[in-house]
Amino acid sequence: MRIINLLWLAIPVLAGGQSLETKPNDPGLEKFKPVKAPEVTSLMLKRGDRLAICGDSITEQRMYSRIMEDYLTMCVPELEVTVRQYGWSGERAPGFLGRMTNDCLRFKPTVATTCYGMNDHEYRPYEERIGQVYREKSTAIVEAFKANGARVVLGSPGCVGKMPGWVKTANGTVEDLNLNLCNLRNIDIEIARAEDIRFADVFWPMLTAGAAAQQRYGTNFAIAGPDGVHPTWAGQTVMAYAFLKAFGLDGEIGTFTVELASNQIKASKGHEAVAKTKGEFQIQSSRYPFCVCEPGGPAGYPACGTDDPGKDTSIRAALALIPFNRELNRLMLVVNDAKAKAYRVTWGDQNKVFTGAQLGGGINLAEEFPLNPFGAGFSRVDSAVAAKQAYETKQIKQMFHGPEGKADMEAVAAKTESEREPLAQAIKAAFAPVTHTIRIEAQ
């Protein structure tokens, strides 16, 4: 049985009159009582939205925020969403509440995501005091965003993987800490329901994916990162998945429908067939699939040549544990008259053999071909996104809260915005249509 089935096909249970999330058959998760998260039924994003991604040092890592901006920029470009990240190391919900007017609301976000709780839980067993403060300050953050015209996705904290050695006041066990974080997650759900906002479940998918990963890849796989708190690419991908799903995105990147006998192809919106020969179709796409690795790769992003999909540093490792490709990254090839037993599909410089039945039902090119013709273009945009988000950390932490900001905040805001603008424009300039070729040959 595939690991993903272990994660999602267990029977839900009830506690205290509330429906709980499904649990894998893992004794290490027996004590957890994660309340069932609200269902997402519609797209909350609007064209031209300005997204603020807010959180602590995990956000300041600029990894899940980078995945989110990459996805919104390249996979759903028609939405024209712009992004800023506001990560601040060590921050708790009260800390962001104190700075959000100066640092965030001045830029008039129309959508905001929050991801607090990791520092709020104080790295100790749960106490009612911890929950009360977290509830009060998180609710105040939500209401401040709403009062300023922003729709909110309230994200839960993630999980911990080990006792962090750098937190000198940490006490209890790893299980104690995760039970605490689960309580804060459940409080987030209560707030989301009371305030009629979206909820992004980071905690439970991370915890269950991490348990499954250790069964699949070995006990060295750390979904919460090597220090037990700060995830690398696998954990960060689970986080990005949680927020993108909370937006209500449908994951339809595109569909190419082929009739081999008549040598015809139909491409969905965002893609255009520009040339064809027998069994070979050239397509120009202004919408990209999400790429899990990059050829060469900019600093920090998984490079296709060295990426190990069995390691927690790999985006592909996460995608084997969560339904990201199925739910958010579908670029489908469908061959209506695939009558031969098998066909070789060549996409760019990669090829793979499929049965006629597989092609008739449709294959997900984004999943079947991790190294694909979009990699180079994706890498250019991702590099520009990474540069802009790095500047946003400098803008807020060093400039707004440094000597210059204290002396003249409005002047610093104007100056830093003029410096950020070329970085934002560089993202737009890097995002160009990709021309690629699909060849289908009977075997």
- The domain that contains 108 carries what CATH number? 3.40.50.1110
- Classify residue 302 by its DSSP letter: P
- 198 shares its domain with 284: no
Contact 276, 263 (CB under 8 A): yes
Contact 55, 86 (CB under 8 A): yes
- 214 shares its domain with 266: no
Look at residue 359 and tell me if it is in a domain.
Answer: yes
Alpha-carbon distance 345 to 443, whole Å? 10
Look at residue 187 and tell me if it is in a domain.
Answer: yes
- 346 shares its domain with 439: yes
Look at residue 390 and tell me if it is in a domain.
Answer: yes
- 260 shares its domain with 179: no
The mean pLDDT of the chain is 95
Look at residue 269 and tell me if it is in a domain.
Answer: yes
Note the pTM of the prediction, 2 decimals. 0.95
Q: Please give the C-alpha separations between residue 385 and each of 253, 407, 426, in angstroms, as whole numbers.
A: 20, 30, 8
Alpha-carbon distance 163 to 134, whole Å? 21
Alpha-carbon distance 316 to 332, whole Å? 19
Per-position pLDDT tens, the chain of length 443: 334 334 444 444 445 568 999 889 889 999 999 999 999 999 999 999 999 999 999 999 999 999 999 999 999 999 999 999 999 999 999 999 999 999 999 999 999 999 999 999 999 999 999 999 999 999 999 999 999 999 999 999 999 999 999 999 999 999 999 999 999 999 999 999 999 999 999 999 999 999 999 999 999 999 999 999 999 999 999 999 999 999 999 999 999 999 999 999 999 999 999 999 999 999 999 999 999 999 876 678 999 989 999 999 999 999 999 999 999 999 999 999 999 999 999 999 999 999 999 999 999 999 999 999 999 999 999 999 999 999 999 999 999 999 999 999 999 999 999 999 999 999 999 999 999 999 999 99
Look at residue 435 and tell me if it is in a domain.
Answer: yes
- 274 shares its domain with 225: no
- 154 shares its domain with 61: yes
- 224 shares its domain with 256: no
- 148 shares its domain with 131: yes
> Among 214, 246, 278, which residue terminates a domain?
246
Could you report the per-residue pLDDT of 28-80, keeping only the tens digit for each? 999 999 999 999 999 999 999 999 999 999 999 999 999 999 999 999 999 99
Could you report the per-residue pLDDT of 389-403, keeping only the tens digit for each? 999 999 999 999 999
- 8 shares its domain with 35: yes
- 12 shares its domain with 150: yes
> Among 246, 275, 303, which residue terminates a domain?
246
- 166 shares its domain with 260: no
Domain count, the chain: 2
Write out the residue range of the structural domain in which residue 39 sits.
3-246
Look at residue 197 and tell me if it is in a domain.
Answer: yes
Residue of 203, 90, 222 whose CA lies nearest to 163: 222
Look at residue 318 and tell me if it is in a domain.
Answer: no
> Among 219, 246, 273, which residue terminates a domain?
246
Look at residue 319 and tell me if it is in a domain.
Answer: no
Edge-to-edge strand list for the sheet holding 363-364: 264-267, 252-259, 330-335, 363-364
Helical packing angle, 93-103 and 128-147, nearest 10°: 20
Alpha-carbon distance 216 to 174, whole Å? 21
- pLDDT value at residue 11: 40
- 345 shares its domain with 231: no
